[in-house]
Amino acid sequence: MKQHKIYITLTAVFLLGCAAVLNFLPRSTVSALEKRDLRSFPAFSWQSLFDGSFANDISLWYSDSEPFRDELMTVSMMVSKYQGLALINEEDHISFVANNEPDLTAVDDTDSLAVDDDSDTIVNIDELTRIGHSGIIVLGQPDTVRALMCYGGVGGGSAYANAANTYQSTLGSAVHVYCMVIPTATEFYIPEKVRNRSKSQLSTILSVESKLTGGVKSVNIHNALASHKNEDIYLRTDHHWAPLGAYYAAKEFARVAGVPFLDISTYDRHVVHGYVGSMYGYSGDISVKQSPEDFVYWTPRNVSYSTSYITYTLDKEYHIVAESKPHSGQFFYKHKDGSGQAYCTFMGSDSKITNVKTSTHNGRRLLILKDSFGNALPGWLFGSFEEINVVDCRYFTKNMVKFVRERGITDILFANNVFKAYSPYVGKNYVRFLSQAGGLPKNPSAADSTAANQATPVDNGRPSPSSDGENGIGTSADAPLLPETDETDIDQF
């Protein structure tokens, strides 16, 4: 009987302790693991009270913002690992993580499942929360683990190619248009034994290339990357490529565009140690966290440059509600060791228009239309163009024709990951930029979800007001992400 009382007492103490933690400690507001803002306490209104939505929103807030959310999720991952919930090939150290369904309460993207116009294949296209029908493949053992997103597309890319063609025909021969499709790490690192779990990304790249017309030039970086796959051209713990991969892509683009290109030996090398990226949260596999890597990037040494931004303000639904006047800023942000935001090194976030003026004087002015994969490209091109503008596929409210004319842009590069290139939404969104009137919507909450001012998930690949993160992926491919980079976490160059 005494033992029963002790057991009851200990259980009661434990439950009371859990209740105290959940109800009295400060609640979580952002999740670095999930790379998103957590729900905030709902605003009260008599209408929401009477229709029941206020109580429902409180329930969602309570479950989404529990104290120590990321720490509790990490413990859950560890328990799942030791319970053997993932299907594991012990001989080859390959585990298959079940497909993650999109969280449509956090992401408003009605185009999450796209049917390619050239086939009946359905593929998950969003780079942050939708990762392919076959889920994620985790390779290797702690210290060397690599997480890969399976790709379900076959051919496709008509809307993406059409966007490049439409820009060329609309803007005329005075502007040179280039089209790049960025493959993900899966294309080069998936083991032969499980290659049938993911479709060939080269088929989509070649499909896009075959549809380019009117003088649009293809920048096919597949071979350039494949020839360097034994180098660290992709991140192991993140869905993005590594800056070194972007270097080889930028080099191929410079060759096609006929502009000079600075060798990597003319750059200064920087390292953020202990980096664990987005694939930890997406896979739910603790071995990814146990395999931190170095995030290595480079800054140009022999070219001077200045950076300015127009920064967009987003509401809780990730609509653009305001924009800043042009203001100067840093292009490269230095993150501390262990920071999970290291991919935000470039430009800090996605929800802005970037302008870089360089000391290169050759009359060439570049516009990069990108998802979050494209963030790593501009820094390699300061010695190639006298001016570089960067626009994200999710954040642009101006009229593109007017924007190109006013800035004297001579070259336009579409640079998006394969998930974004496959998506009909992304291509159509780029075309919409050409005809939209410009200016902020008067009622952003009522805007169409495919409108240019709608911040869709991706790629961004960064915790951002955006991404960071595309997301996708797939952006940049290119999800509600974290707030602007915390100044306590970074130093600026």
Task: Give me the pLDDT at residue 441, please.
Answer: 67
Task: Give me the pLDDT at residue 435, please.
Answer: 96
Give the residue among 116, 160, 119, 123 at the shortest CA–CA distance from 428. 160
In a domain, 25, yes or no: no
Task: Give me the pLDDT at residue 42, please.
Answer: 77
What are the Cα distances from residue 341, in Å, to 112, 315, 334, 344, 429? Answer: 25, 22, 10, 6, 27
Task: Give me the pLDDT at residue 30, please.
Answer: 66
d(CA 459, CA 478): 2
In a domain, 51, yes or no: no
Q: Which parts of the chain sit beneath pLDDT 50? A: 83-86, 88, 90, 99-134, 444-493
Which helix H or strand E contains 438, and what residues bound it?
none
In a domain, 209, yes or no: yes
Parallel, antiparallel, or unpaired for β 176-182 and 217-218?
Answer: parallel
d(CA 47, CA 43): 11
d(CA 190, CA 91): 16
Give the residue among 397, 393, 366, 363 at the shortest CA–CA distance from 380. 366
What is residue 106's DSSP assignment?
T
Helix crossing, 424-435 with 158-171: angle to 10°?
20
Parallel, antiparallel, or unpaired for β 490-492 and 333-335?
Answer: antiparallel
What is residue 299's DSSP assignment?
E
- In this structure, is the dihedral angle defined by the CA atoms of residues 313, 357, 169 and 416, taken in order, positive or negative? negative
Q: Which amino acid is at 237?
A: T
What is residue 326's DSSP assignment?
P
Give the residue among 425, 381, 394, 420 at the shortest CA–CA distance from 260. 381
In a domain, 56, yes or no: no
d(CA 55, CA 451): 31
124 pairs with which residues across the strands? 113
Give the residue among 220, 466, 231, 456 at the shortest CA–CA distance from 343. 466
Residue 4 token pair: 């029963």
d(CA 478, CA 68): 27
Task: Give me the pLDDT at residue 13, please.
Answer: 73
Task: Give me the pLDDT at residue 440, please.
Answer: 77
Q: How many domains does the chain have?
A: 1
Task: Give me the pLDDT at residue 109, please.
Answer: 35
Residue 321 token pair: 């509600």
In a domain, 318, yes or no: yes
Task: Give me the pLDDT at residue 80, please.
Answer: 54
pTM over 0.95: no
Q: How many residues does the chain have?
A: 493
Q: Which amino acid is at 16?
A: L
Residue 311 token pair: 């920064």
In a domain, 242, yes or no: yes
Range of the domain at 198: 136-492
In a domain, 334, yes or no: yes
Task: Give me the pLDDT at residue 115, please.
Answer: 32
In a domain, 82, yes or no: no
Residues 6+ apart with CB under 8 A from 20: none
